[in-house]
Amino acid sequence: MKEQNGKKGFTLWFTGLSGAGKSTIADALAPILRDRGLKVERLDGDIVRKSLTKDLGFSMEDRKLNIERVTFVAKLLTRNGVAVLASFISPSIEVRNESRNEIGNFIEVFVKASLDACIERDVKGLYKKALAGEIKDFTGIHDTAPYEQPPTPELVLDTEKLSVEECIEKIIAKLEELQYL
Amino acid sequence: MKEQNGKKGFTLWFTGLSGAGKSTIADALAPILRDRGLKVERLDGDIVRKSLTKDLGFSMEDRKLNIERVTFVAKLLTRNGVAVLASFISPSIEVRNESRNEIGNFIEVFVKASLDACIERDVKGLYKKALAGEIKDFTGIHDTAPYEQPPTPELVLDTEKLSVEECIEKIIAKLEELQYL
């Protein structure tokens, strides 16, 4: 069930603060993996919150449900030979570990950037709103939404030091090391 | 994206009353398709209501949400070459048509049995409870939950006349006719 052109399905799980660069890296990686003959699906908040999880907000409980549903989808795709690129803040160690256990071929990628750097970038203008109190439960800003760094991720990508290209090189090398490529 | 051993992914969507035989047929079909080299996933209420849709009940609105989430999953699996066998009462023509449009390679299978026959079979004991008023919104029993027969399904399987084996023969023939096999 797991082979696709002799290769196994897997889920690259990008976790990190809003603005750390998760989706940017995953979006840039997707066509590169497709060029290598892999079937690729992107899962991120903007995609799933339109359909799969449109009833959910950003409370701790709703975030957990969001990730549970995404995990179900990633599991089914992974065991059918798809390379899943999932980018979610997914702030809870416990919830990420449940995803790891459920999905199996799970590669946790910590996309690392300091809170200050993310606030400075503020690509979507969300930090400004969060700091102004216009958004509740914003990860890293509010006590209700702490971000728990992964203690033992398969990969750490420090986006304050590395370019997108360098991040992708590291991911490709890791996938080769783990024999997914 | 859609090829798997030269074959396309598709979703067989089994619709019909509780007890009509949807899951029985889909469960029997799954290993037969796997033996033919297809990747197969089963989706049914018992599977998805444990994870994907465990927050949902059986009101019209909740049933619609249930099918919307299942449709998202079926779409992703289908476009990655998987044969999806989805068995859901899915009583609404409109909702089923949305699934059809969303999924693309969609084969609607109306698993047909009269309400009397389903009440007579009552494999899960649900009709007894519904008729006793212990279950609300039960399809075919309560006015709140009508079943809308598909006007133009790809296949009608009358389980009052056909055996499971005969139903499977008809499905295989249809899949060959549609060039999925």
Mean pLDDT of A91-119: 97
Chain A, window 72-101: residues with a beta carbon less than 8 angstroms from a chain B beta carbon: 72-73, 76-77, 80-82
Indicate if the pLDDT at residue A175 is higher than 50: yes
Is the CB of residue A39 less than 8 Å away from at least one CB of chain B? yes
Chain A, window 124-143: residues with a beta carbon less than 8 angstroms from a chain B beta carbon: none
| Angle between helix B164-177 and helix B22-35 axes, rounded to 10 deg | 60
* Ordered per-residue pLDDT tens for chain B, 181 residues: 444 445 699 999 999 999 999 999 999 999 999 999 999 999 998 889 888 888 898 888 898 999 999 999 999 999 999 999 999 999 999 999 999 999 999 999 999 999 999 999 999 999 999 999 999 999 999 999 999 999 999 999 999 999 999 999 999 999 999 999 9
- Kindly determine whether residue B80 and residue A41, on different chains, have CB atoms separated by under 8 Å: yes
Assess contact for B27 and B42: CB atoms under 8 A: yes
Contacts of B172 (CB under 8 A, 6+ apart): B32, B181
Contacts of A30 (CB under 8 A, 6+ apart): A40, A42, A85
What span, in angstroms and rounded, lies between the C-alpha atoms of B137 and A47? 32
Assess contact for A117 and A161: CB atoms under 8 A: no
Angstrom distances, CA of residue B83 to CA of A46, A141, B78, B175? 27, 44, 6, 11
Tokens standing for A138?
């914003």
pTM of the predicted model as reported, rounded to 2 decimal places = 0.92
What span, in angstroms and rounded, lies between the C-alpha atoms of B54 and B71? 16
Indicate if the pLDDT at residue A80 is higher than 60: yes
- Kindly determine whether residue A81 and residue B80, on different chains, have CB atoms separated by under 8 Å: yes
User: What is the side-by-side order of every strand in the sheet holding B155-158?
Assistant: B40-44, B83-87, B10-15, B106-112, B155-158
Q: What is the ipTM of this complex?
A: 0.90
| Alpha helices (H) in B16-114, listed in sequence order | 22-35, 45-48, 60-79, 93-103
Active site residue A90: yes
Indicate if the pLDDT at residue A23 is higher than 90: yes
Amino acid at A92: S
Please give the domain boundaries of chain B with CATH numbers for all domains: 3-177 (3.40.50.300)
Is the CB of residue B55 less than 8 Å away from at least one CB of chain A? yes
Indicate if the pLDDT at residue A131 is higher than 60: yes
- The DSSP result for A116-174, as a single string, is HHHHHH-TTSHHHHHHTTSSSS-TTTSTTS-----SS-SEEEETTTS-HHHHHHHHHHH
**Distance in Å, alpha carbon of A162 to nearest chain B alpha carbon:** 32
Q: How confident is the model at residue A31 (pLDDT cuts 50, 70, 90)?
A: very high
Give the SS3 label for residue A58.
coil
Q: How confident is the model at residue A159 (pLDDT cuts 50, 70, 90)?
A: very high
